[in-house]
Structure 1
Amino acid sequence: MATVPTVITGDGETPAFELFEPAVPTTPLVFCSPHSGRHYPRSLTDLSKLDARTIRRSEDLFVDELFGFAPEIGAPLIAANFPRAFLDVNREPYELDQAMFTGRLPDYANTGSLRVAGGLGTIPKIVAEDTEIYRARLDVEEGLERVEVFYRSFHEALGALIARTKAAFGMAILIDCHSMPSTVRALPSGRRPDVVIGDRYGTSAAARLVAMATSGFSGLGYDVMRNKPYAGGFITERYGKPSIGQHAIQIEISRSLYSDEAELRPHQGFATVRSELRQIFTQMAFDVEREYLRPLAAE
Protein backbone atom coordinates (compact mmCIF):
# COMPACT_ATOMS: atom_id res chain seq x y z
CA MET A 1 0.00 0.00 0.00
CA ALA A 2 1.19 3.52 -0.76
CA THR A 3 2.27 5.79 2.07
CA VAL A 4 -0.67 6.78 4.24
CA PRO A 5 -0.90 10.54 4.91
CA THR A 6 -1.23 11.77 8.47
CA VAL A 7 -3.63 14.20 10.08
CA ILE A 8 -2.37 16.68 12.65
CA THR A 9 -4.63 16.90 15.67
CA GLY A 10 -4.34 18.69 18.98
CA ASP A 11 -2.69 15.55 20.35
CA GLY A 12 -0.15 15.05 17.57
CA GLU A 13 -0.22 13.07 14.32
CA THR A 14 -2.22 10.00 13.39
CA PRO A 15 -2.58 8.01 10.15
CA ALA A 16 -5.46 9.24 8.02
CA PHE A 17 -6.80 5.69 7.87
CA GLU A 18 -5.82 2.21 8.98
CA LEU A 19 -5.97 -1.18 7.37
CA PHE A 20 -6.46 -4.23 9.58
CA GLU A 21 -5.75 -7.48 7.75
CA PRO A 22 -5.78 -11.15 8.71
CA ALA A 23 -2.56 -13.12 8.53
CA VAL A 24 -4.18 -15.21 5.80
CA PRO A 25 -7.38 -13.96 4.07
CA THR A 26 -9.96 -16.74 3.95
CA THR A 27 -13.05 -14.98 2.57
CA PRO A 28 -13.87 -12.47 -0.17
CA LEU A 29 -15.58 -10.20 2.37
CA VAL A 30 -14.00 -6.74 2.71
CA PHE A 31 -15.15 -4.35 5.45
CA CYS A 32 -14.99 -0.56 5.21
CA SER A 33 -15.78 2.03 7.89
CA PRO A 34 -15.56 5.47 6.24
CA HIS A 35 -17.43 7.59 8.82
CA SER A 36 -16.24 6.40 12.24
CA GLY A 37 -13.09 8.56 12.42
CA ARG A 38 -12.73 10.55 15.63
CA HIS A 39 -9.30 12.19 15.23
CA TYR A 40 -10.14 15.82 14.49
CA PRO A 41 -7.50 17.72 12.48
CA ARG A 42 -6.41 21.15 13.64
CA SER A 43 -7.25 22.44 10.17
CA LEU A 44 -10.88 21.64 11.03
CA THR A 45 -11.11 22.53 14.71
CA ASP A 46 -9.29 25.85 14.31
CA LEU A 47 -11.94 26.97 11.81
CA SER A 48 -15.00 25.43 13.44
CA LYS A 49 -17.48 27.31 15.58
CA LEU A 50 -18.64 24.09 17.25
CA ASP A 51 -17.55 22.66 20.57
CA ALA A 52 -15.82 19.30 20.81
CA ARG A 53 -19.05 17.41 21.51
CA THR A 54 -21.33 19.03 18.94
CA ILE A 55 -18.92 18.55 16.06
CA ARG A 56 -19.06 14.78 16.66
CA ARG A 57 -22.76 14.47 15.86
CA SER A 58 -22.09 13.10 12.37
CA GLU A 59 -19.77 10.31 13.48
CA ASP A 60 -20.77 6.73 12.88
CA LEU A 61 -20.05 6.11 16.53
CA PHE A 62 -17.53 3.30 17.13
CA VAL A 63 -18.47 1.44 13.95
CA ASP A 64 -14.80 0.61 13.37
CA GLU A 65 -14.78 -1.11 16.77
CA LEU A 66 -18.09 -2.89 16.15
CA PHE A 67 -16.61 -4.47 13.02
CA GLY A 68 -13.13 -4.87 14.47
CA PHE A 69 -13.62 -8.65 14.40
CA ALA A 70 -13.10 -8.69 10.62
CA PRO A 71 -9.50 -10.00 10.64
CA GLU A 72 -10.55 -12.71 13.10
CA ILE A 73 -12.92 -14.14 10.48
CA GLY A 74 -10.35 -13.86 7.68
CA ALA A 75 -11.38 -10.50 6.22
CA PRO A 76 -9.70 -7.06 6.06
CA LEU A 77 -11.11 -3.84 7.49
CA ILE A 78 -10.21 -0.34 6.30
CA ALA A 79 -11.25 2.48 8.62
CA ALA A 80 -10.88 6.25 8.29
CA ASN A 81 -9.36 8.01 11.30
CA PHE A 82 -10.30 11.49 10.11
CA PRO A 83 -13.94 12.40 10.78
CA ARG A 84 -16.74 12.78 8.31
CA ALA A 85 -17.05 16.45 9.34
CA PHE A 86 -13.57 17.00 7.87
CA LEU A 87 -13.98 14.99 4.67
CA ASP A 88 -16.63 12.56 3.47
CA VAL A 89 -15.15 9.78 1.35
CA ASN A 90 -18.67 8.45 0.70
CA ARG A 91 -19.22 11.24 -1.83
CA GLU A 92 -17.89 11.96 -5.28
CA PRO A 93 -14.41 13.48 -4.97
CA TYR A 94 -15.52 17.01 -5.83
CA GLU A 95 -19.08 17.45 -4.56
CA LEU A 96 -18.31 20.89 -3.17
CA ASP A 97 -20.31 23.99 -2.23
CA GLN A 98 -18.86 27.12 -3.84
CA ALA A 99 -20.37 29.27 -1.09
CA MET A 100 -18.10 27.56 1.46
CA PHE A 101 -14.87 28.73 -0.16
CA THR A 102 -12.88 31.84 -0.89
CA GLY A 103 -11.59 31.50 -4.42
CA ARG A 104 -13.21 29.70 -7.31
CA LEU A 105 -13.64 25.97 -7.40
CA PRO A 106 -12.45 24.21 -10.58
CA ASP A 107 -14.98 23.74 -13.34
CA TYR A 108 -15.06 19.98 -12.80
CA ALA A 109 -16.43 20.36 -9.26
CA ASN A 110 -20.00 19.13 -8.87
CA THR A 111 -21.51 22.12 -7.11
CA GLY A 112 -25.13 21.33 -7.90
CA SER A 113 -25.75 17.90 -6.41
CA LEU A 114 -28.57 17.30 -3.95
CA ARG A 115 -26.02 16.35 -1.30
CA VAL A 116 -24.22 19.67 -1.73
CA ALA A 117 -27.55 21.49 -1.53
CA GLY A 118 -28.24 19.68 1.74
CA GLY A 119 -24.90 20.72 3.23
CA LEU A 120 -23.44 17.21 3.05
CA GLY A 121 -20.94 17.35 0.20
CA THR A 122 -17.42 15.95 0.13
CA ILE A 123 -16.46 18.68 2.58
CA PRO A 124 -19.62 18.99 4.66
CA LYS A 125 -21.11 22.31 5.63
CA ILE A 126 -23.12 20.88 8.52
CA VAL A 127 -23.10 18.10 11.08
CA ALA A 128 -26.23 16.09 11.82
CA GLU A 129 -29.13 17.74 9.99
CA ASP A 130 -28.70 21.47 10.45
CA THR A 131 -25.70 22.57 12.51
CA GLU A 132 -23.16 24.58 10.53
CA ILE A 133 -19.52 23.70 11.13
CA TYR A 134 -17.47 26.71 10.05
CA ARG A 135 -17.36 30.27 11.30
CA ALA A 136 -15.85 31.57 8.05
CA ARG A 137 -15.28 30.41 4.50
CA LEU A 138 -12.43 28.00 3.76
CA ASP A 139 -9.53 28.72 1.47
CA VAL A 140 -10.23 26.87 -1.76
CA GLU A 141 -6.72 25.40 -1.81
CA GLU A 142 -7.27 23.91 1.64
CA GLY A 143 -10.45 22.25 0.42
CA LEU A 144 -8.86 20.84 -2.72
CA GLU A 145 -5.89 19.56 -0.72
CA ARG A 146 -8.20 17.53 1.51
CA VAL A 147 -9.54 15.81 -1.60
CA GLU A 148 -6.19 15.32 -3.33
CA VAL A 149 -4.35 14.05 -0.26
CA PHE A 150 -6.83 12.28 2.01
CA TYR A 151 -9.76 11.34 -0.21
CA ARG A 152 -7.63 9.98 -3.02
CA SER A 153 -5.31 7.99 -0.75
CA PHE A 154 -8.27 6.39 1.04
CA HIS A 155 -9.93 5.32 -2.21
CA GLU A 156 -6.65 4.12 -3.70
CA ALA A 157 -6.18 1.89 -0.66
CA LEU A 158 -9.78 0.66 -0.72
CA GLY A 159 -9.67 0.00 -4.47
CA ALA A 160 -6.41 -1.91 -4.14
CA LEU A 161 -7.83 -3.98 -1.29
CA ILE A 162 -10.86 -4.94 -3.34
CA ALA A 163 -8.69 -5.76 -6.35
CA ARG A 164 -6.41 -8.01 -4.26
CA THR A 165 -9.41 -9.78 -2.78
CA LYS A 166 -10.97 -10.34 -6.18
CA ALA A 167 -7.69 -11.67 -7.57
CA ALA A 168 -7.39 -14.12 -4.67
CA PHE A 169 -10.98 -15.41 -4.61
CA GLY A 170 -12.47 -14.61 -8.00
CA MET A 171 -14.90 -12.18 -6.39
CA ALA A 172 -15.02 -9.44 -3.74
CA ILE A 173 -17.88 -8.47 -1.43
CA LEU A 174 -17.56 -5.03 0.13
CA ILE A 175 -19.47 -4.50 3.36
CA ASP A 176 -19.72 -0.72 3.81
CA CYS A 177 -20.31 -0.19 7.52
CA HIS A 178 -22.31 2.72 8.95
CA SER A 179 -24.57 3.73 11.81
CA MET A 180 -27.68 5.86 11.84
CA PRO A 181 -29.22 8.02 14.57
CA SER A 182 -32.14 6.45 16.39
CA THR A 183 -34.14 9.52 15.35
CA VAL A 184 -33.75 8.65 11.67
CA ARG A 185 -36.82 9.81 9.80
CA ALA A 186 -39.61 7.31 10.17
CA LEU A 187 -41.04 5.43 7.23
CA PRO A 188 -44.66 6.16 6.26
CA SER A 189 -45.76 3.44 8.69
CA GLY A 190 -43.95 5.22 11.53
CA ARG A 191 -41.40 2.44 11.64
CA ARG A 192 -37.77 3.13 12.55
CA PRO A 193 -35.76 0.01 11.72
CA ASP A 194 -32.78 -1.35 13.64
CA VAL A 195 -30.82 -2.06 10.47
CA VAL A 196 -31.02 -0.80 6.90
CA ILE A 197 -29.35 -2.83 4.18
CA GLY A 198 -28.61 -0.90 0.99
CA ASP A 199 -27.79 -2.34 -2.41
CA ARG A 200 -28.65 0.64 -4.60
CA TYR A 201 -32.06 -0.88 -5.34
CA GLY A 202 -30.68 -4.20 -6.48
CA THR A 203 -27.80 -2.89 -8.59
CA SER A 204 -24.70 -3.10 -6.37
CA ALA A 205 -24.76 -6.74 -5.23
CA ALA A 206 -26.17 -10.11 -6.18
CA ALA A 207 -29.60 -10.68 -4.69
CA ARG A 208 -28.42 -13.87 -2.98
CA LEU A 209 -25.67 -12.01 -1.10
CA VAL A 210 -28.11 -9.36 0.05
CA ALA A 211 -30.46 -12.11 1.20
CA MET A 212 -27.66 -13.67 3.25
CA ALA A 213 -27.05 -10.40 5.08
CA THR A 214 -30.75 -9.70 5.54
CA SER A 215 -31.57 -13.13 6.92
CA GLY A 216 -28.58 -12.97 9.24
CA PHE A 217 -29.91 -9.85 10.95
CA SER A 218 -33.55 -10.90 10.84
CA GLY A 219 -32.70 -14.28 12.31
CA LEU A 220 -31.31 -12.57 15.41
CA GLY A 221 -34.41 -10.46 15.87
CA TYR A 222 -33.32 -7.19 14.26
CA ASP A 223 -35.96 -5.14 12.45
CA VAL A 224 -34.46 -4.86 8.97
CA MET A 225 -35.35 -2.63 6.03
CA ARG A 226 -33.84 -2.69 2.56
CA ASN A 227 -32.86 0.56 0.81
CA LYS A 228 -35.17 2.77 2.88
CA PRO A 229 -34.23 5.31 4.01
CA TYR A 230 -30.64 4.50 2.94
CA ALA A 231 -29.94 2.79 -0.38
CA GLY A 232 -26.16 3.16 -0.29
CA GLY A 233 -23.88 6.07 -1.07
CA PHE A 234 -20.98 6.72 -3.40
CA ILE A 235 -18.86 3.84 -2.08
CA THR A 236 -21.62 1.29 -2.66
CA GLU A 237 -22.31 2.71 -6.11
CA ARG A 238 -18.68 2.96 -7.17
CA TYR A 239 -17.49 -0.45 -6.06
CA GLY A 240 -20.65 -2.48 -6.54
CA LYS A 241 -20.32 -4.09 -9.98
CA PRO A 242 -21.91 -7.52 -9.76
CA SER A 243 -21.42 -8.23 -13.47
CA ILE A 244 -17.67 -8.49 -12.88
CA GLY A 245 -17.86 -10.29 -9.54
CA GLN A 246 -17.52 -7.18 -7.42
CA HIS A 247 -20.35 -6.64 -4.95
CA ALA A 248 -21.07 -3.90 -2.41
CA ILE A 249 -23.64 -3.82 0.41
CA GLN A 250 -24.17 -0.94 2.81
CA ILE A 251 -25.10 -1.71 6.41
CA GLU A 252 -26.66 0.96 8.65
CA ILE A 253 -27.12 0.11 12.34
CA SER A 254 -29.16 2.19 14.77
CA ARG A 255 -26.75 3.82 17.23
CA SER A 256 -29.17 3.39 20.13
CA LEU A 257 -28.60 -0.39 19.99
CA TYR A 258 -25.02 -0.08 21.20
CA SER A 259 -24.28 3.50 22.33
CA ASP A 260 -25.43 6.46 24.36
CA GLU A 261 -25.98 8.95 21.56
CA ALA A 262 -25.98 11.97 23.89
CA GLU A 263 -22.85 11.00 25.82
CA LEU A 264 -21.05 9.63 22.72
CA ARG A 265 -19.96 6.42 24.38
CA PRO A 266 -20.75 2.71 24.09
CA HIS A 267 -23.34 1.30 26.48
CA GLN A 268 -24.03 -2.20 27.75
CA GLY A 269 -25.45 -3.29 24.39
CA PHE A 270 -22.16 -2.79 22.56
CA ALA A 271 -20.68 -6.21 23.32
CA THR A 272 -23.90 -7.95 22.28
CA VAL A 273 -24.16 -6.11 18.97
CA ARG A 274 -20.50 -6.73 18.18
CA SER A 275 -20.85 -10.42 18.99
CA GLU A 276 -23.95 -10.75 16.85
CA LEU A 277 -22.33 -8.91 13.95
CA ARG A 278 -19.46 -11.37 14.13
CA GLN A 279 -21.95 -14.24 14.12
CA ILE A 280 -23.83 -12.83 11.11
CA PHE A 281 -20.75 -12.29 8.98
CA THR A 282 -19.04 -15.52 10.03
CA GLN A 283 -22.12 -17.31 8.73
CA MET A 284 -22.14 -15.17 5.59
CA ALA A 285 -18.49 -16.03 4.93
CA PHE A 286 -19.34 -19.73 5.33
CA ASP A 287 -22.31 -19.45 2.96
CA VAL A 288 -20.24 -17.57 0.39
CA GLU A 289 -17.59 -20.30 0.56
CA ARG A 290 -20.20 -23.01 0.04
CA GLU A 291 -22.31 -21.34 -2.64
CA TYR A 292 -19.76 -19.30 -4.59
CA LEU A 293 -16.15 -20.30 -3.96
CA ARG A 294 -16.47 -24.09 -4.12
CA PRO A 295 -18.31 -23.99 -7.45
CA LEU A 296 -15.68 -21.56 -8.80
CA ALA A 297 -12.90 -23.88 -7.67
CA ALA A 298 -14.58 -26.83 -9.34
CA GLU A 299 -14.79 -25.16 -12.74
Structure 2
Amino acid sequence: MTPVEVHQGSSPVILGLPHTGTYVPEAIKARLNEQGQLLTDTDWHVHRLYDGLIDSVTTVRATFHRYVIDANRDPSGDSLYPGQNTTGLVPLTDFDNRPIWREGDEPTAEDTAQRLEAFHAPYHAALEAEIARVRALHGVAILYDCHSIRSNCPFLFEGPLPDFNIGTNHGKTCAPEIEKVTAGICAAADGYSSVLNGRFLGGWTTRHYGRPERGEHAIQMELAQATHLKSEAVPFDYDEDKAARLRPHLKAILARLAEVAPTLKGE
Protein backbone atom coordinates (compact mmCIF):
# COMPACT_ATOMS: atom_id res chain seq x y z
CA MET A 1 0.00 0.00 0.00
CA THR A 2 1.25 3.47 -0.86
CA PRO A 3 1.77 5.71 2.20
CA VAL A 4 -0.22 8.60 0.77
CA GLU A 5 -3.25 9.10 -1.46
CA VAL A 6 -3.54 12.34 -3.41
CA HIS A 7 -6.57 13.63 -5.29
CA GLN A 8 -5.78 16.80 -7.18
CA GLY A 9 -8.34 19.56 -7.58
CA SER A 10 -8.44 23.15 -8.77
CA SER A 11 -9.80 24.77 -5.60
CA PRO A 12 -7.48 27.01 -3.54
CA VAL A 13 -8.35 24.83 -0.54
CA ILE A 14 -6.42 21.65 0.30
CA LEU A 15 -7.65 19.10 2.83
CA GLY A 16 -4.94 17.41 4.86
CA LEU A 17 -5.87 14.03 6.35
CA PRO A 18 -2.93 12.72 8.39
CA HIS A 19 -4.76 10.48 10.85
CA THR A 20 -7.57 8.63 9.06
CA GLY A 21 -5.34 5.81 7.79
CA THR A 22 -5.50 2.39 9.44
CA TYR A 23 -2.76 0.54 7.54
CA VAL A 24 -0.17 -1.11 9.78
CA PRO A 25 2.41 -3.38 8.13
CA GLU A 26 2.19 -6.91 9.51
CA ALA A 27 5.69 -6.82 11.00
CA ILE A 28 4.76 -3.71 12.98
CA LYS A 29 1.29 -4.95 13.88
CA ALA A 30 2.80 -8.07 15.45
CA ARG A 31 4.68 -5.83 17.89
CA LEU A 32 1.56 -3.99 19.05
CA ASN A 33 -0.13 -5.33 22.17
CA GLU A 34 -3.85 -6.05 22.39
CA GLN A 35 -4.63 -2.43 23.24
CA GLY A 36 -2.48 -1.10 20.43
CA GLN A 37 -4.11 -3.34 17.84
CA LEU A 38 -7.45 -1.64 18.51
CA LEU A 39 -6.04 1.48 16.80
CA THR A 40 -8.20 3.51 19.16
CA ASP A 41 -6.64 6.89 18.36
CA THR A 42 -7.66 6.94 14.70
CA ASP A 43 -9.48 10.00 13.34
CA TRP A 44 -12.40 7.70 12.57
CA HIS A 45 -14.35 8.41 9.37
CA VAL A 46 -13.08 11.99 9.02
CA HIS A 47 -12.34 11.51 5.31
CA ARG A 48 -15.93 10.33 4.86
CA LEU A 49 -17.25 13.28 6.85
CA TYR A 50 -15.58 15.81 4.51
CA ASP A 51 -16.17 13.91 1.28
CA GLY A 52 -18.00 15.95 -1.34
CA LEU A 53 -18.31 19.14 0.72
CA ILE A 54 -16.39 21.35 -1.70
CA ASP A 55 -16.01 21.10 -5.45
CA SER A 56 -12.64 20.18 -6.95
CA VAL A 57 -10.80 20.15 -3.65
CA THR A 58 -7.35 18.64 -3.35
CA THR A 59 -6.96 15.97 -0.67
CA VAL A 60 -3.75 14.54 0.74
CA ARG A 61 -4.41 11.51 2.95
CA ALA A 62 -1.99 9.33 4.88
CA THR A 63 -2.97 5.67 4.56
CA PHE A 64 -0.80 4.50 7.48
CA HIS A 65 -1.85 4.61 11.10
CA ARG A 66 -0.40 7.10 13.55
CA TYR A 67 0.94 4.20 15.65
CA VAL A 68 3.30 3.39 12.76
CA ILE A 69 4.48 7.01 12.81
CA ASP A 70 2.52 10.19 13.39
CA ALA A 71 2.35 12.32 10.24
CA ASN A 72 1.38 15.35 12.34
CA ARG A 73 4.48 15.36 14.55
CA ASP A 74 7.79 17.12 14.11
CA PRO A 75 10.21 14.68 12.44
CA SER A 76 12.86 15.83 14.91
CA GLY A 77 10.79 14.37 17.73
CA ASP A 78 10.40 17.72 19.50
CA SER A 79 7.15 18.07 21.46
CA LEU A 80 4.37 20.26 20.09
CA TYR A 81 3.24 21.06 23.61
CA PRO A 82 6.27 21.24 25.94
CA GLY A 83 5.29 20.57 29.53
CA GLN A 84 1.91 19.09 28.59
CA ASN A 85 0.88 15.48 28.14
CA THR A 86 0.90 14.43 24.50
CA THR A 87 1.97 11.52 22.27
CA GLY A 88 5.16 11.45 20.26
CA LEU A 89 6.41 10.92 16.74
CA VAL A 90 6.15 7.15 17.21
CA PRO A 91 3.71 6.86 20.12
CA LEU A 92 4.54 4.57 23.01
CA THR A 93 1.10 4.97 24.60
CA ASP A 94 -2.43 5.77 23.52
CA PHE A 95 -4.39 8.88 24.47
CA ASP A 96 -5.21 7.32 27.83
CA ASN A 97 -1.51 6.75 28.57
CA ARG A 98 -1.84 2.98 28.14
CA PRO A 99 1.14 1.16 26.56
CA ILE A 100 0.43 0.06 22.97
CA TRP A 101 3.52 -2.10 22.31
CA ARG A 102 4.34 -5.58 23.56
CA GLU A 103 6.91 -5.48 26.33
CA GLY A 104 10.34 -5.65 24.76
CA ASP A 105 8.98 -4.80 21.29
CA GLU A 106 8.85 -1.02 21.70
CA PRO A 107 10.07 0.94 18.65
CA THR A 108 13.79 1.73 18.53
CA ALA A 109 15.59 4.76 17.15
CA GLU A 110 16.35 2.68 14.05
CA ASP A 111 12.64 1.88 13.66
CA THR A 112 11.81 5.57 13.84
CA ALA A 113 14.39 6.47 11.20
CA GLN A 114 13.07 3.79 8.85
CA ARG A 115 9.46 4.87 9.34
CA LEU A 116 10.34 8.52 8.79
CA GLU A 117 11.76 7.58 5.39
CA ALA A 118 9.04 5.10 4.39
CA PHE A 119 5.92 6.90 5.65
CA HIS A 120 6.34 10.36 7.15
CA ALA A 121 8.55 11.82 4.42
CA PRO A 122 6.42 10.67 1.45
CA TYR A 123 3.28 12.10 3.05
CA HIS A 124 4.87 15.48 3.55
CA ALA A 125 6.55 15.49 0.16
CA ALA A 126 3.11 15.00 -1.39
CA LEU A 127 1.53 17.67 0.81
CA GLU A 128 4.26 20.19 0.07
CA ALA A 129 3.99 19.49 -3.66
CA GLU A 130 0.22 20.08 -3.62
CA ILE A 131 0.58 23.31 -1.68
CA ALA A 132 3.09 24.53 -4.27
CA ARG A 133 0.85 23.43 -7.16
CA VAL A 134 -2.27 25.10 -5.75
CA ARG A 135 -0.36 28.28 -4.92
CA ALA A 136 0.93 28.37 -8.51
CA LEU A 137 -2.68 28.16 -9.75
CA HIS A 138 -4.16 30.79 -7.47
CA GLY A 139 -1.31 32.78 -5.97
CA VAL A 140 -2.47 31.44 -2.62
CA ALA A 141 -3.13 28.07 -0.98
CA ILE A 142 -5.17 27.29 2.14
CA LEU A 143 -4.40 24.05 3.92
CA TYR A 144 -7.29 22.94 6.11
CA ASP A 145 -6.01 20.10 8.27
CA CYS A 146 -8.78 17.69 9.24
CA HIS A 147 -8.73 15.96 12.63
CA SER A 148 -10.94 14.42 15.30
CA ILE A 149 -10.50 13.13 18.84
CA ARG A 150 -12.61 11.64 21.60
CA SER A 151 -14.52 14.25 23.59
CA ASN A 152 -12.97 13.10 26.85
CA CYS A 153 -9.28 12.22 27.19
CA PRO A 154 -8.26 13.04 30.77
CA PHE A 155 -4.60 12.31 30.05
CA LEU A 156 -4.56 15.05 27.41
CA PHE A 157 -7.06 17.62 28.68
CA GLU A 158 -9.43 18.30 31.55
CA GLY A 159 -13.19 17.99 31.07
CA PRO A 160 -15.10 17.54 27.83
CA LEU A 161 -13.69 19.04 24.66
CA PRO A 162 -15.69 21.60 22.64
CA ASP A 163 -17.17 20.33 19.38
CA PHE A 164 -15.07 22.56 17.11
CA ASN A 165 -11.43 23.12 18.10
CA ILE A 166 -9.73 25.57 15.75
CA GLY A 167 -5.95 25.87 15.75
CA THR A 168 -3.83 28.59 14.15
CA ASN A 169 -0.98 28.74 16.69
CA HIS A 170 -2.39 32.02 17.99
CA GLY A 171 -2.89 33.46 14.52
CA LYS A 172 0.60 32.73 13.21
CA THR A 173 -0.31 30.13 10.58
CA CYS A 174 -2.88 31.99 8.48
CA ALA A 175 -4.28 35.39 7.57
CA PRO A 176 -6.71 36.89 10.11
CA GLU A 177 -9.56 36.56 7.61
CA ILE A 178 -9.23 32.77 7.58
CA GLU A 179 -9.32 32.54 11.35
CA LYS A 180 -12.25 34.97 11.55
CA VAL A 181 -14.35 33.18 8.93
CA THR A 182 -13.81 29.75 10.47
CA ALA A 183 -14.36 30.83 14.07
CA GLY A 184 -17.44 32.84 13.11
CA ILE A 185 -19.20 29.94 11.40
CA CYS A 186 -18.39 27.62 14.30
CA ALA A 187 -19.60 30.10 16.91
CA ALA A 188 -22.88 30.55 15.04
CA ALA A 189 -23.51 26.80 14.62
CA ASP A 190 -26.63 26.08 16.67
CA GLY A 191 -26.19 23.30 19.19
CA TYR A 192 -22.41 23.16 18.93
CA SER A 193 -19.60 24.53 21.08
CA SER A 194 -16.31 25.89 19.77
CA VAL A 195 -12.96 27.31 20.80
CA LEU A 196 -10.12 29.06 18.98
CA ASN A 197 -6.58 28.11 20.01
CA GLY A 198 -7.68 26.24 23.11
CA ARG A 199 -6.10 22.89 23.96
CA PHE A 200 -5.19 22.39 20.30
CA LEU A 201 -3.16 25.12 18.59
CA GLY A 202 -2.52 23.18 15.41
CA GLY A 203 -0.10 20.31 14.99
CA TRP A 204 3.25 20.21 13.24
CA THR A 205 1.57 20.24 9.82
CA THR A 206 -0.31 23.46 10.49
CA ARG A 207 2.67 25.16 12.10
CA HIS A 208 5.14 23.99 9.44
CA TYR A 209 3.11 24.88 6.36
CA GLY A 210 1.38 27.98 7.69
CA ARG A 211 3.48 30.68 6.00
CA PRO A 212 1.07 33.54 5.33
CA GLU A 213 3.85 35.81 4.10
CA ARG A 214 4.30 33.38 1.20
CA GLY A 215 0.60 33.07 0.47
CA GLU A 216 0.51 29.64 2.13
CA HIS A 217 -2.05 29.51 4.93
CA ALA A 218 -2.87 26.66 7.30
CA ILE A 219 -5.60 26.05 9.85
CA GLN A 220 -6.43 22.94 11.86
CA MET A 221 -9.90 21.71 12.76
CA GLU A 222 -10.07 19.19 15.58
CA LEU A 223 -13.61 17.84 15.87
CA ALA A 224 -14.91 16.12 18.97
CA GLN A 225 -15.89 12.64 17.77
CA ALA A 226 -19.23 12.88 19.56
CA THR A 227 -20.29 15.17 16.69
CA HIS A 228 -20.27 12.38 14.11
CA LEU A 229 -19.82 8.94 15.74
CA LYS A 230 -22.46 6.69 17.27
CA SER A 231 -20.05 5.97 20.10
CA GLU A 232 -16.54 7.14 20.91
CA ALA A 233 -15.52 3.53 21.60
CA VAL A 234 -15.05 0.33 19.62
CA PRO A 235 -16.31 -0.08 16.92
CA PHE A 236 -16.39 3.73 16.40
CA ASP A 237 -19.29 3.59 13.96
CA TYR A 238 -20.22 6.57 11.80
CA ASP A 239 -23.54 8.20 12.70
CA GLU A 240 -25.35 9.29 9.54
CA ASP A 241 -27.81 11.54 11.40
CA LYS A 242 -25.12 13.33 13.41
CA ALA A 243 -23.00 13.74 10.30
CA ALA A 244 -25.96 15.16 8.36
CA ARG A 245 -26.32 17.87 11.01
CA LEU A 246 -22.61 18.63 11.13
CA ARG A 247 -21.67 18.58 7.44
CA PRO A 248 -23.49 21.81 6.46
CA HIS A 249 -21.36 23.75 8.93
CA LEU A 250 -18.16 22.19 7.62
CA LYS A 251 -19.30 22.87 4.07
CA ALA A 252 -19.95 26.51 4.94
CA ILE A 253 -16.43 26.86 6.32
CA LEU A 254 -14.77 25.37 3.25
CA ALA A 255 -16.94 27.40 0.88
CA ARG A 256 -16.09 30.66 2.66
CA LEU A 257 -12.40 29.83 2.69
CA ALA A 258 -12.51 29.30 -1.07
CA GLU A 259 -14.26 32.67 -1.44
CA VAL A 260 -11.78 34.47 0.79
CA ALA A 261 -8.72 32.99 -0.92
CA PRO A 262 -8.52 35.48 -3.85
CA THR A 263 -8.41 38.40 -1.42
CA LEU A 264 -5.30 37.00 0.24
CA LYS A 265 -2.94 37.31 -2.73
CA GLY A 266 0.10 39.32 -1.86
CA GLU A 267 -0.17 38.68 1.86
Q: Answer whether TM exceeds 0.5 for this pair.
A: yes
Q: How large is the RMSD of aligned CA atoms in angstroms?
A: 2.5
Structure 2 Cα separation of the partners of residues 42 and 235 of structure 1 = 27
Partner of 1:89: 71
Residues 118 and 228 of structure 1: is their aligned pair in 2 closer, same or farther, counting only changes over 3 Å? closer
Partner of 1:258: 228
Q: Normalized against structure 1, the TM-score is what? A: 0.78
Residues 46 and 116 of structure 1: is their aligned pair in 2 closer, same or farther, counting only changes over 3 Å? farther
Partner of 1:129: 96
Note the alpha carbon deviations across 1:172-196, whole angstroms, 9 max, x for none: 11101101211145988x6631101
The alpha-carbon deviation at position 142 of structure 1 amounts to 2.7
**1:119/1:125 contact within 8 Å kept:** no
The alpha-carbon deviation at position 55 of structure 1 amounts to 3.1
**1:127/1:133 contact within 8 Å kept:** yes
The one-letter amino acid of 1:133's match is: I
Counting matched residue pairs gives: 259
Partner of 2:87: 120
Residues 122 and 204 of structure 1: is their aligned pair in 2 closer, same or farther, counting only changes over 3 Å? same
**2:140/2:216 contact within 8 Å kept:** yes
Residues 256 and 121 of structure 1: is their aligned pair in 2 closer, same or farther, counting only changes over 3 Å? same
**1:35/1:60 contact within 8 Å kept:** yes
The one-letter amino acid of 1:58's match is: D
Structure 2 Cα separation of the partners of residues 121 and 249 of structure 1 = 21
Question: Is 1:28 matched with 2:12?
Answer: yes
Higher relative strand content: 1
Structure 2 Cα separation of the partners of residues 251 and 117 of structure 1 = 20
The SS at the match of 2:40 is helix
Q: Which of residues 16, 19, 25 in structure 1 aligns to 2:6?
A: 19
Indicate the structure whose relative CO is greater, using CA pairs within 8 Å and at least 6 residues apart: 2
Q: Which of residues 45, 60, 70 in structure 2 aligns to 1:78?
A: 60
Note the alpha carbon deviations across 1:16-46, whole angstroms, 9 max, x for none: 1211223xx0x31111010111122213210
Q: Normalized against structure 2, the TM-score is what? A: 0.87
Structure whose CA Rg is larger? 1
Partner of 2:42: 59
Structure 2 Cα separation of the partners of residues 266 and 187 of structure 1 = 24
Partner of 2:139: 170
Partner of 1:271: 244
Residues 187 and 128 of structure 1: is their aligned pair in 2 closer, same or farther, counting only changes over 3 Å? closer
Structure 1 stretches of 5 or more lacking a match?
Answer: 1-13, 96-109
Structure 1 Cα separation of the partners of residues 99 and 29 of structure 2 = 13
The SS at the match of 2:39 is helix
The alpha-carbon deviation at position 121 of structure 1 amounts to 1.5
Structure 2 Cα separation of the partners of residues 244 and 139 of structure 1 = 37
Residues 114 and 287 of structure 1: is their aligned pair in 2 closer, same or farther, counting only changes over 3 Å? closer
The alpha-carbon deviation at position 115 of structure 1 amounts to 6.6
Note the alpha carbon deviations across 1:75-110, whole angstroms, 9 max, x for none: 201111111111101111131xxxxxxxxxxxxxx5
Q: After the TM superposition, which residues 123-272 of structure 1 pair with which residues of structure 2 at under 5 Å, given as runs?
A: 123-135=90-102, 136=104, 137-184=106-153, 192-221=161-190, 222-259=192-229, 260-262=231-233, 263-267=235-239, 268-272=241-245
Residues 203 and 113 of structure 1: is their aligned pair in 2 closer, same or farther, counting only changes over 3 Å? closer
The one-letter amino acid of 1:210's match is: E
Structure 2 Cα separation of the partners of residues 176 and 46 of structure 1 = 30
Structure 1 Cα separation of the partners of residues 254 and 245 of structure 2 = 14
Structure 2 stretches of 5 or more lacking a match?
Answer: none
**1:30/1:75 contact within 8 Å kept:** yes
Question: Is 1:39 matched with 2:23?
Answer: yes
Structure 1 Cα separation of the partners of residues 232 and 160 of structure 2 = 19
The SS at the match of 2:71 is coil
Note the alpha carbon deviations across 1:181-239, whole angstroms, 9 max, x for none: 11145988x66311011000111111111111112222322311001110011111100
